[in-house]
Structure 1
């Protein structure tokens, strides 16, 4: 069975942007799943489990390759998802200030009855954030829809001293590892040249 159509099971603008930048043709079908967190579940297992649930929630035909992902920020064993309020967003940023944390992304690829899942981790080092910087960053408006209340690709890049690992993983999709997995399913994306000039 050779896939001919890629379906991104995500409503994330960052994941869409990463695929578009490579010139990969795909369609979007946002999943509708309960992203519950189990007590004492390791983060790398949680993001894989949730990405798998997202992929399995999408109905595709036999030639549809379903790609899904889930991202979480971890600090001292605590999971930071998307902030539910300004107060929680400020709390996240204060706790990340001057510290290193891990960004975990679980990725699943589904074709028919076959599903493959993996996770990637990147270490992110924040600079020391003053209350003024936190207040300014919140006012930029990037925090609400992002795990950990920040986005590396926007103004949030100013908060970061360095990263160790995949940059695109922090955006929500470790692109190199994802492409390798898609190729294992027979998705020959390198046959299509990107529309953009690099």
Structure 2
């Protein structure tokens, strides 16, 4: 079985420098175009289904990637973005100024980060781990697509590669509509393509 994994397209808040989390903003033209480019790249692959985060930016991206096909899109609440609590909808510069230590820990020392509101990293990883198990167990197809978010994708890398929290943000960088491919054999996961963006060039 193969899991094709991508991040939603670029949004208004991405361009504005605001942290989104479980709040939402619309795809911008560049985000829509990148999703359409991924559609072209994946046009010859038959997905049994597409799993999407319930957030509109992910669902809309899933629709653009699906294009004219009739592949069912399954909304999966457990693959929505990390809950950033009071930081959601706030510009990065304001968060950095008002929560200097927490912001530094979040991005540079995630093993020391303690969420004052929203989710912590360990909580997110456990949620994503359960989601992956559920998806694998309920899927009968050879190939599926998951459309989700940066921190969820990073959590999937951490789970598969058994990363410690201090290495959570290690490369690869997760560009919008980048493509990761994971091969699943019984209980073994292997990442065979890592956040690839050749379709955007």
TM-score (norm 2): 0.29
Higher relative contact order, structure no. (Cα contacts within 8 Å, ≥ 6 residues apart) = 2
Q: Which has the higher helix share?
A: 2
- Tell me which structure has the larger Cα radius of gyration: 1
